Structure 1
């Protein structure tokens, strides 16, 4: 499949999934729990309908492609040389509440030896379900977006508008890492939990936010004693951002000119694209400019050091 055809397929799939979910936004019936997905998170009825649409679309339009989703894991037809990494609803809980912060995420990469990485992603598409706003990135080809990219020039942490997430994260341990940043920005800036990594990312691109960060995997890697707290909150699973949460978002951020690394300032390019669970999860720090990014990496370093001291004292 040519690159333009693959791009168009990803866009069509994202639009079809958004159209399937849009009428159910805010519907109480969608809150019924289903099975636990391959990623370990709770599956709601609204997720099940989106997954059904995903399977039906690909069976008709692209039965030769492999695909990976949160609920299904990897589906690989014989001979497939390309994989789509799809999150039919990134931000299920905002979708259930009828909020704008819910997106469809579709990314594409060559399968190669069967172990593609984040750096292999060639196409990334995000569609906001409620508004229909679109963000379409092709590696090396820039970003097309419904709203123009307006990256913030902010570098002052006291005036920072930023976001992070609580879903599945232990609150006390997480606040040990980000608490100082919350305090610094809570009056002159603003801090939000919006419930969707994709929505957080596009808000950096539009200038609504200066930064998006999620330190969970770094917390576990560098302070292993915190893993038990993550598993307690996640009902036995570690719930941080998996590749299907970030594959399209990272490419959109990069092609839109934002600075994106993990929370230690390292590239995400060599991280595995297919998989879930702690070994595949990754922290993320996305900033509107390089000066701000460097300051936030230092804040994360200090936060992790505080967490390590606290864990050592308990």
Structure 2
């Protein structure tokens, strides 16, 4: 178990608050063009000017954290390998912890002020290269609100404690408890859920599977009636939040499974979900949400910035039972999953 885990939790939540406040302040005083300027291409993703703001605050605070814990920090933007050791003189193999963080998950939506983004952090005991998502024992995610939004939610969990949450009012400075409650609905009917298809390339195939999944699950639609809804939140932390708050009943991000289709067409590989995007899934599982990979097993990807991940989230056991078998059948039928 993580030494002094509750103390570490408090410190990480303070770091999240500092990142959130600096990013919001910068959004208030900067133009869209300045925030959306591309400054680098690293670890398979694009780094925008707004990302650099969070990285500066992150490094400053994590340097201070190293006076109490030794750790390997894993984050997009920390050089080509996405790794940095604290304190810098220590052998990475002897570091106590691995801390993986996404300083801004949902950069694109935030910099255009379309949707809130999230700061994501997961902490695991250091087991070297074998350390993976299933080892995470502390997770925190904090909302970076839009400029016009005065409330900011945060949720956290420790491996041996229930998940908790807080809603912060950035106008008054007050905070109140936030009680997350995933949907208890026994069906996807009249609820939100979807297969993620954010970018051009294989949206048609993924949409076909999504449509067929709903048809096989709920039957043919009646004239003038809608069976279910979807909401494409381009942010994995945001998708987990929507499940945790009961807004969505299921979500599947299967982009890596569609990569062979792009390759066969001679198209460049697309942008996929990475371990830092899902480093807070412990919180969701603590709330009773079922989070799996494409084969139905618990996520266990290495803590790096490059591994592509497929994942599926179900709000409860009933939704899992309704969706999972049909989804697996369709993925096999459409050759995205081997039989």
Instruction: Name the TM-score, length of structure 2 as normaliser.
Output: 0.80
Residue 271 of structure 2 corresponds to residue 267 of structure 1:
no
The residue number in structure 2 matching 1:295 is: 322
1:227 Cα shift? 4.4
Q: Kindly report the root-mean-square deviation, in angstroms, between the aligned alpha carbons of the 2 structures.
A: 2.4
Q: Is the 8 Å Cα contact of residues 164 and 192 (structure 1) preserved in structure 2?
A: no
User: Which of 11, 16, 19 is the matching residue for 1:17?
Assistant: 19
1:141 Cα shift? 0.7
The residue number in structure 1 matching 2:192 is: 161
The residue number in structure 2 matching 1:312 is: none
Structure 1 pair 227–9 and aligned structure 2 pair: CA distance change class (3 A): farther
The residue number in structure 1 matching 2:77 is: 71
Instruction: Name the TM-score, length of structure 1 as normaliser.
Output: 0.85
Count of aligned residue pairs for this structure pair: 296
Residue 130 of structure 2 aligns to a residue whose secondary structure is coil
Looking at structure 1, the residues matched to 50 and 212 of structure 2 have their Cα atoms a distance apart, in angstroms, of 37
Superposed, which structure 2 residues align to 1:5-154 within 5 Å? 5-25=7-27, 27-28=31-32, 29-38=34-43, 40-62=44-66, 64-72=70-78, 73-76=82-85, 77=88, 78=90, 79-130=94-145, 131-146=151-166, 147-154=178-185
Deviations 1:254-298 (A, max 9, x none): 111111111331121x3222241xxx2221111111121122222
Residue 257 of structure 2 corresponds to residue 226 of structure 1:
no
User: Which of 132, 154, 178 is the matching residue for 2:210?
Assistant: 178
Residue 287 of structure 2 corresponds to residue 256 of structure 1:
yes
The residue number in structure 1 matching 2:248 is: 209
Residue 141 of structure 2 aligns to a residue whose secondary structure is strand
User: Which of 186, 195, 198 is the matching residue for 2:234?
Assistant: 195
Residue 192 of structure 1 aligns to a residue whose secondary structure is coil
Return 196-205 or 55-64, whichever deviates more: 55-64
Structure 2 unpaired stretches of 5+: 146-150, 167-177
Return 19-28 or 141-150, whichever deviates more: 19-28
Looking at structure 2, the residues matched to 294 and 202 of structure 1 have their Cα atoms a distance apart, in angstroms, of 21
Looking at structure 2, the residues matched to 230 and 134 of structure 1 have their Cα atoms a distance apart, in angstroms, of 42
Return 14-23 or 58-67, whichever deviates more: 58-67
Looking at structure 2, the residues matched to 126 and 57 of structure 1 have their Cα atoms a distance apart, in angstroms, of 17
Q: Is the 8 Å Cα contact of residues 116 and 274 (structure 1) preserved in structure 2?
A: no
Deviations 1:81-127 (A, max 9, x none): 21210101100111112234311101111112332011110111010
Deviations 1:20-68 (A, max 9, x none): 2112448402011111122x11111101111122112212332632211
Structure 1 pair 41–230 and aligned structure 2 pair: CA distance change class (3 A): farther
Structure 1 pair 24–300 and aligned structure 2 pair: CA distance change class (3 A): farther
Structure 1 pair 46–259 and aligned structure 2 pair: CA distance change class (3 A): same
The residue number in structure 1 matching 2:174 is: none
Structure 1 unpaired stretches of 5+: 310-314
1:160 Cα shift? 2.9
Between Structure 1 and Structure 2, whose CA radius of gyration is higher?
A: 2
More helix by share: 1
User: Which of 263, 269, 272 is the matching residue for 1:240?
Assistant: 272
